[in-house]
Structure formats: structure tokens, C-alpha cells
Amino acid sequence: MTSPHTYLNHHRERHLQELSEWLSIPSVSALSAHKADTARAAEWLAEALERAGLEHVEVRQTAGHPIVYADHLHAPGKPTVLVYGHYDVQPVDPLHLWTTPPFEPQVRGGKLYARGATDDKGQLFLHIKAAEALLAAGELPVNLKFCIEGEEEVASPNLPPYLAQERERLACDAILISDSSLLEPGRPSICTGLRGLCSLELTLRTAATDLHSGLYGGGVPNALHALVALLATLRDEQGRIAVDGFYEGVPELTADLRAELAKQDVDETMLQGELGLQALVGEAGYTFVERTGARPTLELNGVWGGFQGEGTKTVIPKEAHAKITCRLVGQQDPAQVLERVARHLRAHAGPGAELAIAPGEQAPAFSIDPGHPVLQLAADAYEAAYGTRAIFTKDGGSIPIVAAFAQELRAPVVLMGFGLPTENLHAPDEHFHLDNYDKGLQTIVRYLELLGSQSPA
Amino acid sequence: MTSPHTYLNHHRERHLQELSEWLSIPSVSALSAHKADTARAAEWLAEALERAGLEHVEVRQTAGHPIVYADHLHAPGKPTVLVYGHYDVQPVDPLHLWTTPPFEPQVRGGKLYARGATDDKGQLFLHIKAAEALLAAGELPVNLKFCIEGEEEVASPNLPPYLAQERERLACDAILISDSSLLEPGRPSICTGLRGLCSLELTLRTAATDLHSGLYGGGVPNALHALVALLATLRDEQGRIAVDGFYEGVPELTADLRAELAKQDVDETMLQGELGLQALVGEAGYTFVERTGARPTLELNGVWGGFQGEGTKTVIPKEAHAKITCRLVGQQDPAQVLERVARHLRAHAGPGAELAIAPGEQAPAFSIDPGHPVLQLAADAYEAAYGTRAIFTKDGGSIPIVAAFAQELRAPVVLMGFGLPTENLHAPDEHFHLDNYDKGLQTIVRYLELLGSQSPA
């Protein structure tokens, strides 16, 4: 038997050929015209898992696109690792901006171009081939499970019920997801936090009809004045959210975490220039990276009311509107935050203002201690492949399924990305750097080996 | 010779016939298709003035529609009265909502229906026939001038230059305008104040592009937060405008004026119900009538920025907008108020916000002391015709030409209306109550007689 690395080197061309074959299937989950293609990509995946040596391969039909399961459970006493990924891809419009057709993969300048090359078929493929190589070498040192969906690009409607239903079958010691990016070329990172989200829409009414400002101005409530006065109470002068209890569940930043986040060394002056900002502003006492990654926020996404046309209209608007989203961290409870924001709005609405508040999305934050052994081993594995230890970051965005996995399976989630932020995901000319393809395979093989040297949690 | 009243009674049918003839000319100033009709209405007017016995009748061409002048200056040592009015009318859409065609005048239930019946041909006609009656009786006791335009419904673009150019010819001791309403049937009123106006549009920018709230939320300025915080500073908690110097030139309300305004006895509870308001709000220490008639205001007419569509969009908007108008009273200078509001906005814009302020319209307020003899005599004249003395009101709206007349000719303006607020001006089925036609003639004849018994100012 040959070593996994020798195996991967030896079969590299065949593997890239296989990946290209998969990438040529237009599994666009959002478009019903591609429903059969998406099913074909699931079948292709199931066969690839089977060929790699995995067992119990199953294509589970759902109300939408199938979920593919496979496992290899022959390492008693060793940790169980669950790999999540997705085989569906984004639509390709505008097609004319692609240098080569999105479903005719092509390698140019060390990069593989195709829709799905980095998001997520290309990254997910690394896990299949790492497993194949370890199995071929007779060295797969962990129990391995795959749970791959085809609806990530359409908000995963059928995944949470599947997780709940198959909780026992999916039980594991670590969840491994490669659907993100390095910090920059040669600088691996592991995301240890994603912010949660909640949203609401506010309608404020003061009168049955719009009123003429000549006849009524100064004597009746103006919905816009009432709205701006109300919305202005949401933040204080230090940039803190002034809603009672808003920060409940927000962890204090430890000196260690601040030091870790500082490693991202964002050049705030350069960033300000790039975004065309006069100033970077935010909660007093925190850096930009802390504010956007490790602190919650409340943002007005839209505000409107009254006359928006050309010229002057002397109207006193009867109603005004606002859309608000909060990004949450730590243990903040989305439903509770929504309720508290709503209570704040009701308590601060001026006389004559009637409020209607429609709650919207809710998703909890995801957070993991970088000191957790499975994260430290992941950083070790990156170091072995890249020569640089991964740093631990906090992302300000929200990926609801990550929190869903963590909560449903009660296992640590390792967000181990091999893409780059510049690889045009969701855009024309999506691509994947083959350098990271190779280093990704090395990292994953090394990671599974390191995990296999541990006792299960 | 017969008395003016006998004359008016005797010729009433002929006069109404003449008015109907004039009303049947569709002098819609806003529509170029009616340009010839509008000119024809001016010619008709000139002939009517001539027939009434006025002299120096002139149809002056302008860049738009003609201005008609006439006078009768044979009362040496007596006051000179200038009558202003307009012979143009509003468009008639939606035509299908008219019970009878707008340019086929018809009397139904004591009301004359036609476009222009109350606004303003019908009311203006009273002055022509009052003059005719007084001249026929050999009793016109004042010097009388007519200055009648055909562009009132399109903002009078050619009137102010005409006033400036013809200042000497138009010199007078009182300007008489009948283009407004009684308070309600049987309750005459004289408007002694109109609010001025100034407007601006504000654009607030914080970034070169909209930003994603996941990546940047909490770390960058949000144009909407900056806007609501800024706009919320414009009013204080007592409902006062918090702009430095805003109230400069605003007269204190005297006990007399407050008593006069209180005569309007607005039922605030009923008004609140009619407008669908939860509360009447405004500047502390003033009644509704005072707030809307005798106090200035600053109103947000429109505010917008960010996402207004359905659902959630986690955007941090790069810019936000507001439209603001102020209603002014007393000696407030529109340009100075605009400058002070702009200065306030610049001084209170938070960090990271860049402002662009576009000034809009400017018109000074009009105000006259109800104690002025020409107003007291007007109230006496109303009392003679209606059996009720006219009360003095302050209107919250703005009619820029009134202030223009007062300023250019330096004479008191008497706003002596005979319409009713319910007569559908600018709407289908416009009409004029013939009861007020008759009482209006009596009031004007009496008023000219009373003025004639005075020495000139």
C-alpha cells in the first residue's frame, strides 16, 4: 500500500478530471429548469463516495433537492467526523461576463474555472479524495460521515428537519465544513464565530390620511418626525445599542480573543479609503475587527415615508416605515432581542404615534472557543500544509445552518476553508486555486490523522 | 338715478347671464390647448369692465397670459382701491365626475355650477358689478383700479415683474382680493395672515457604496442612522423648532389676537376624530388654531434611504434623503431661515456624514394688523350684509402673490372672500352659492361706500 500523499499525487489528473465532470453538471438549485441536473449531481456524488470506498451511501429525497449520506465507521474508539457541504450552485447570470462557459470547466493560470469550483463542489471534493486516499492507504484513522445537501444556495429549507430526524445517525465528535476562505493567499484562518440575525419591519401611523402642511403644519403629529425621533433612540452617543437588555448574552472579549483578532491586522485607513468612508465609526472601545466580528449591531436597512419625488410637496405624511436587522453574538437569543427591540420602540414612540411591528428572520449566533482541541488540531494541520499556523477569526455574517448543526448535533463545528475571497463566488468566472486544492488535500489528510491520534471526546 | 341696490336687483338676471357667458369660456391657463380660450376670457373681461363704466382698459400681453387693467379715478381726495383677481381656471379632469359639463354653467338648488364659479371668476365678477352699480347710481365714492391676471393657477410667473414695473400706476390705499372663503355659511371672516414658506432637500452620504451588514455592520457609519439622529435634533421635546435663531421675527401673540383667533372655536376633539389622529400635538403653550395659523413650523415632507421592498435586505445604505419645508410667520426671512436650518444640519451631522443641501422655494409671510381701519371697515361691511361681523383669522397656508402685492405696493391687503370651503374649487362640480353672490355684492358696495367716507391714508 502506498501513502495517502503518494496516492493523491499519483491520481491527481484523474481526480481533477472527475471534479471537472461533476462541475459540468449545472446543479442550479434555485432554477426549476435545472431540477433534473441537480438530481444528477446528487447521483454523481453518491457514486463518487461509493468509488472512494465509503459505505451506506444514500440519496435521500426531500421536498426539494436530495440529501446525500455516506459513512465509513471502522475506527472503534476513535473520533467520528461529520463532513457537511453542498453540491448545488448559484445561477450563472450574467452569462456574457464569463470568459469560458460556467459548466465547461477549464484550467487557466493554475486556477480551475467553473460555477461551483470554489463554492462548494471543489472544496467538498477535497474531503472525498482525502478519504479515498486514506482508505486506499488503509489508514483512515477516524470514523467518517458525509451529509451533503443540494439546497444551500436556497437557504437549506429541508436540512434542519433532516438533522433533527437523523440526529443519531449523524452523531459525531466534530463537524467539518469547507465552504469558506483563507484570509488571503498563504494565510489560513478558521472562523470561530458567525453572528446571528433577527429582523423586523416597523410601520408608524399618525393620521388617517396625509395632511396639508399649510392647513395643519404645527398642529398635528407628523409620522416622519415621530419616526426619526423614535429611531434616534436606538443608539446612544457611544455607538451602543440603547435597547434595554440588548447586550444580554454577549460575552466580554477576553485579552486572548482580542489578541487573536488583532492578528488580522486590518489597515483601517486603507479600508476607509476603499469603502469611501469619511470615518470608521462604531461602539466606543472596540477595533473595527471586534466591532464587526465579535460585537452585536442594530442597523437600519431602510427608512421611508412621505414624498420622494422631484421638487416640493407640502405634505404631512400619515405613516412612515423602517426595516431593522440585528446581528447577534454569543448567547443572544434572537426572539428575545426582537421582543426587546419591539418593547423599546413601543416605549419610546411619541404621543400620537401608533406602531405596527412585523417580526422577520431569526437565527442564533455561532461561536466556538478557539482553545477547543479540534480547532487547535485544525490549526496544526493547516500549519503542516501551509507552513503557517491558521489564525482564528470571527465573521460578522450569518450562516444559519452552522448554528443549526452545532445545536442539533451538539458537536464543535470546524469551519476549515480553502477558497479565497477573490474567487468570484456567486459571480462570473468563479474559480478555485489549484495550489489550495493540493494544500487543502494535505491539510485534510493531516487533520484526520491528527484527530485519529486522539481519543474521542 | 337709482340706488346701487335697486340697480343690482333690477339687473340680476342679466348679470348672471353675463357671468355664465364668461364661465363658458374654458380659460384653463395650465393647458396650451386653451391658450386662445384664455385670451378670449381676457378680452371678455376687458369688455365687461368697459361696459361697467371703467376707463383706461388695457389688455397687457405677457410671456404667458394677459394681465387686464382698468380704472376709474374720479374721486379726488378719496381713497384708491385696487382689486386683484384672476380669470384663469383649473383643469377639469376627471371630467366624468361632473354632473353637468364644467363649461356649461347651470343653476341648481341656489348654486351656480361651472369651473371658475367660485375660483375666481364668480367672486371677481362681484367687484365689476358692484362698480357698475355704483357708477350707474353716480355714487362710486372711491378711486378704483382693477389688476386681473390669467396665470394664478400656474403660480403667477408674470405678475411680480408687472407689479414692479407698474408700481406707480397701481399705487393705492388698499388692495382688495376676493379669492377665498367664508369660515362657514353665514360666518364671514377676513384672513389677516398667511404663512411664508421655504424648503430644502438634504442628501446625507456616508460611503461610496452600500455595504453588507454582515461584513461591516457595527464598524461603519450607516447613512440612515446618521440621518435619523440628525433630523431628530430639529425639534425639541416641547415641540419647538430647535434651530438657532429660527424664531427671529416671529411676533408674540397678543392677548387681543389670541382672543380673536379663539373665536374660530375649533372643536379639537372632533377635529382629531375627523383626521384619524391619536392626538393633536404641537408647540407647548398654543392652541391648534394658533399653532397652525400664527406660529411657524418645520415639517419633514419626505424621508427615504436603503431598502424599501418586501422582506429583509441586510444592507447598510450609503446615502439617505430628506425633504423639509418651513412655514413662516411675521418678519421671518425665508432665505435666512433656510440658511439657519442648513447651518443647524451641518453642525449636527455626526462623524462620517457628508451633507448636500439644495435650497428650494422661498416666500415671505403676509400679516396685517386686524386693527387697521381698512380691515375694520371690511368687517363692518360684512356685518351690514350678513348680520354678523366678520372675524379675523390667520391661515396656515401660503399665497406668495399676497405678500408680493403687500410688499411691492406697500398697501394693506384685504382678503375678503365670498366662497365656501365646500364649493369644490379645483375639483369636479365646482359651484358658487348665489346667496353669497347677492350678499357679496351688498358687502362690496357697502365697503366701497364706507371707504369713500374716509380720508385717504
What is the average per-residue pLDDT within B260-273? 92
**Side chain identity at B59, as an amino acid letter?**
V
* Cβ atoms A380, A86 nearer than 8 A: no
| Nearest alpha carbon to residue A160 among A384, A406, A326 | A406
d(CA A200, CA A358): 5
- A447 Cα to chain B: minimum distance (Å): 29
What's the pLDDT band for A347 if we cut at 50, 70, 90? very high
d(CA A194, CA A294): 9
Residue range A367-388, pLDDT digits in tens = 999 999 999 999 999 999 999 9
Residues in chain B within 8 Å Cβ distance of A291: 218-219
Within chain A, all domains assigned CATH 3.40.630.10 are found at 4-194+365-452
Beta pairing, strands A211-212 & A319-328: unpaired
- B8 grid coordinates: 343690482
Where do we find the cell 406668495? B400
- B187 grid coordinates: 360666518
What is the average per-residue pLDDT within A195-217? 94
**Side chain identity at B202, as an amino acid letter?**
L
**How many Cβ atoms from other residues are within 10 Å of residue A282's Cβ?**
23
Where do we find the cell 409620522? A223
- A5 grid coordinates: 500523499
Considering the four listed CATH numbers 3.40.50.720, 3.30.70.360, 1.10.10.60, 3.40.1160.10, the one that applies to the domain covering B196-250+296-363 is: 3.30.70.360
What's the pLDDT band for A426 if we cut at 50, 70, 90? confident
Homologous superfamily (CATH) of A4-194+365-452 is Zn peptidases (3.40.630.10)
Residue range A28-84, pLDDT digits in tens = 999 999 999 999 999 999 999 999 999 999 999 999 999 999 999 999 999 999 999
**Side chain identity at B353, as an amino acid letter?**
A
- A242 grid coordinates: 440603547
Within chain B, all domains assigned CATH 3.30.70.360 are found at 196-250+296-363
CB pair distance less than 8 Å for A327 and B218 = yes
Within chain B, all domains assigned CATH 3.40.630.10 are found at 4-194+366-452
> What ipTM did this prediction achieve?
0.88
* Cβ atoms B407, B175 nearer than 8 A: no
* Closest chain B residue by Cα to residue A355: B278
CB pair distance less than 8 Å for A225 and B209 = no
- B388 grid coordinates: 354678523
What is the average per-residue pLDDT within A327-338? 96
CA distances from B178 to B69, B124, B128, B269, B375 (A): 17, 6, 12, 32, 14
* Cβ atoms A280, A271 nearer than 8 A: yes
CB pair distance less than 8 Å for A218 and B282 = yes
- B305 Cα to chain A: minimum distance (Å): 6
Residues in chain A within 8 Å Cβ distance of B316: 299, 301
CB pair distance less than 8 Å for A303 and B303 = yes
CB-hemisphere CA count at 13 Å for B79? 23
d(CA A188, CA B259): 79
d(CA B225, CA A228): 9
Residue range B278-309, pLDDT digits in tens = 899 999 999 999 999 999 999 999 999 999 99
- A119 Cα to chain B: minimum distance (Å): 18
> Coil, helix or strand for B121?
helix
Q: Which CATH architecture has domain B4-194+366-452?
A: 3-Layer(aba) Sandwich (3.40)
Beta bridge pairs of residue A11:
none
| Nearest alpha carbon to residue A108 among A95, A98, A121, A120 | A98
Q: What's the DSSP call for residue A252?
A: P
Residues in chain A within 8 Å Cβ distance of B421: none
Query: How confident is the model at residue A1, as a pLDDT?
Result: 65
Q: For chain A, what percent of residues have pLDDT higher than 90? A: 91
CB pair distance less than 8 Å for B281 and A220 = yes
What is the average per-residue pLDDT within B186-204? 96
* Cβ atoms A22, A41 nearer than 8 A: yes
* Cβ atoms B396, B155 nearer than 8 A: no
CB pair distance less than 8 Å for B279 and A313 = no
> Coil, helix or strand for A439?
helix
Query: How confident is the model at residue A430, as a pLDDT?
Result: 96
